[in-house]
Amino acid sequence: MTNEINYIDFEPKVSHKSFWKGNNYESTQVVMARVNEWVRKNYNSKIINIETLLIPDSGHNKKEHNAKRLSMQGGYVYMIEVVRVWYQ
């Protein structure tokens, strides 16, 4: 058994594409169902922590990503909410 700590991120996927209104994304419940499925399939891994994070989205195209726009001094930063599972 290795002592290496790893993580996997789960972000909301596009559930419905719309040219005019932008995309609809999976709900938090659907994302958590995917997280729980991964945990069940990887039962031999030791789960260290599960957390939600707002991380910078380099694509910053709101129509293609589930990005949230935050106003900062001097401009905008686009963030995306993910569920991160830390495991060993």
- What would the pLDDT profile of 53-72 be if each residue is shown by its tens digit? 987 766 545 544 566 667 77
Q: Are 13 and 61 in contact (CB under 8 A)?
A: no
Show the CA angle centred on residue 54, arms to residues 4 and 50, nearest 5°: 40
Q: Are 60 and 67 in contact (CB under 8 A)?
A: yes
Measure the CA–CA gap between 50 and 77, rounded to whole angstroms. 25
Residue 60 structure tokens: 């910053």
- pTM metric for this prediction: 0.71
pLDDT digits (tens, 9 = 90+) for 1-58: 568 999 999 988 877 777 776 667 788 889 999 999 999 999 999 999 999 998 776 6
